[in-house]
Every structure is written in structure tokens, then in C-alpha cells.
């Protein structure tokens, strides 16, 4: 029997489908006469079949990760800013303004805040505390800020809903409100959370 001089690499290329048409048909002609190469082709092909089956069993259809878009914008919001944007300057301005108001202990801000949360909570009005028209600013910052505000609002509503339905005790409510307050730093929501905290303290 003639000793076969076909390289292992050629067999593997054939199995992977990496040979061009003429190389491939020449090799197939060789296969008709060479049992050694035929066995190798069978063996490698079988390996690939096994792996393909196992992999398609693992992931039979393409799945999408959950809430990628929302998570991305939240992540971008949490990440340190790359540049000093208009929005971060604006939000600094607002938080400074709030600090001043807070130090003066203006009683009206309490009323305003309670009214605001009542509107946001009971009417579901997408109230935006920074008074920026997000739609007009089609920038990354606006989108990030919007997601951040939505997130804070959702969390705050969640706390109040649970409190309202008596699904959490005062200790829970206080710790949740504190968490929202931290999350909301630099926005009006922080103040709203603070006022809610005061109310919880006086209620219990």
C-alpha cells in the first residue's frame, strides 16, 4: 500500500471548509483511495458535530441581555463624567440653589416638595425636577440624566407605595428613603426624600 503523504493540516482545513474549491475536490479524489485520510476526516468531523450539538443545546436561540439600554445609561450616569458638560454645570447650580434655600429653612420648600411628590406619585405626571426640557436637548448627558431621574423617581414611588400599603415598617421605610436620598444627591429628589424622612419620623 502506498504511504499517504497528506499533511494533518490539509485534513483539518478540509474539515473546517477552509480549502478552496479546486483544492477541496482534489482532496476528495484522494479520499476515495485513502482510508487513513478518510478515517481522519470522519473523526474530526465527528468532533465538530458533537461540539456543534452541545453548543446549540447550550444556546439554541440568540438571547438578548435584559434591559441593556437602561443599564447602560444608568452605568454612564454613575460613571465619573469625562468632560464638564452643560448639564452637570446646571445640576451643580441647582444643588447650590437648594443648599441656600435649605439653609434659610424656607418652609415653603417643604410644601412645594410634598406637593411635587404628590403629583408625581398620584397622578403619574412625569415631573422633571431640574425643569430642563429633556426632549429639546438631544445629547448623551440629557439621556443619562433622564434615566437617572426616572430611576430615582421609581425608587421613591416604590418606597411610598410600600409605606402606603403598610408593606414595610418604619425602619424599612427610613432606610429605603435614606438610600433614595443618597442616590438623588444633587437633585430636587434628595430634598423630597429628606422631607419624607421627616414625616416618617413624626408619624412613628
Which residue ranges make up the site for Zn ion (CB under 5 A)?
4, 6, 34, 37
Q: Applying CB under 8 A, which of residues 23, 28, 52, 172 lies at the interface with another protein?
A: 52
Q: Where are the alpha helices (DSSP H) in the chain?
A: 8-16, 21-31, 35-58, 68-78, 86-103, 107-118, 140-164, 170-183, 188-203
Task: Identify whether the C-beta of residue 73 lies closer than 8 Å to the C-beta of residue 147.
Answer: yes
With CB under 5 to 8 Å by kind, the binding choice for 4 among another protein, Zn ion, none is Zn ion
With CB under 5 to 8 Å by kind, the binding choice for 32 among Zn ion, another protein, none is none
Contact between 165 and another protein by CB under 8 A: the answer reads no
| Closer Cβ to another protein, 14 or 189, answer by number | 14
Neighbours of 180 (CB within 10 A): 26
Q: Restricting to residues 119-158, which ones interact with another protein according to CB under 8 A?
A: 138-140, 143
Q: What angle do CA 127, 139, 118 make, to 5 degrees?
A: 5
Question: How far apart are the C-alpha atoms of 124 and 156, rounded to whole Å?
Answer: 12
Q: With CB under 8 A as the contact rule, which of the stretches 39-47, 101-109, 123-131, 177-185 interacts with another protein?
A: 39-47
Question: How far apart are the C-alpha atoms of 197 and 204, rounded to whole Å?
Answer: 11
Closest distance of CB 32 from Zn ion, Å = 10
| Closer Cβ to another protein, 49 or 198, answer by number | 49
Neighbours of 3 (CB within 10 A): 5
Task: Identify whether the C-beta of residue 144 lies closer than 8 Å to the C-beta of residue 81.
Answer: no
Closest distance of CB 54 from another protein, Å = 4
Contact between 58 and another protein by CB under 8 A: the answer reads yes
Closest distance of CB 78 from another protein, Å = 10
C-alpha distance across the termini of the chain, in Å:
96
Residue 62 in 3-state DSSP?
coil
With CB under 5 to 8 Å by kind, the binding choice for 37 among another protein, Zn ion, none is Zn ion
Which residues contact another protein (rule: CB under 8 A)? Answer: 8-9, 12-13, 15-16, 18, 43-44, 46-48, 50-55, 57-66, 68-69, 71-72, 75-76, 79, 82, 138-140, 143
Amino acid at each position: 500500500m502506498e504511504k499517504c503523504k497528506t499533511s494533518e493540516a490539509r485534513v483539518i482545513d478540509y474539515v473546517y471548509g477552509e480549502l478552496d474549491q479546486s483544492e477541496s475536490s482534489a482532496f476528495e479524489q484522494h479520499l476515495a483511495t485513502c482510508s487513513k485520510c478518510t478515517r481522519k476526516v470522519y473523526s474530526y468531523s465527528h468532533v465538530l458535530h458533537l461540539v456543534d450539538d452541545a453548543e446549540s443545546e447550550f444556546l439554541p436561540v440568540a438571547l438578548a441581555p435584559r434591559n441593556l439600554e437602561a443599564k447602560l445609561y444608568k452605568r454612564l450616569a454613575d460613571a465619573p463624567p469625562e468632560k464638564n458638560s452643560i448639564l452637570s454645570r446646571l445640576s451643580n447650580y441647582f444643588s447650590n440653589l437648594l443648599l441656600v434655600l435649605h439653609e434659610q429653612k424656607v418652609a415653603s420648600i417643604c410644601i412645594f416638595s410634598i406637593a411635587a411628590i404628590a403629583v408625581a406619585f398620584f397622578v403619574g405626571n412625569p415631573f422633571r425636577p431640574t425643569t430642563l426640557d429633556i426632549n429639546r436637548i438631544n445629547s448623551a448627558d440629557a439621556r443619562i440624566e433622564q434615566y437617572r431621574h426616572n430611576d430615582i423617581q421609581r425608587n421613591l414611588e416604590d418606597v411610598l407605595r410600600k409605606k402606603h400599603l403598610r408593606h414595610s415598617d418604619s425602619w424599612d421605610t427610613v432606610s429605603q428613603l435614606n438610600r433614595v436620598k443618597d442616590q438623588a444627591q444633587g437633585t430636587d429628589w434628595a430634598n423630597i426624600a429628606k422631607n419624607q424622612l421627616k414625616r416618617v419620623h413624626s408619624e412613628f
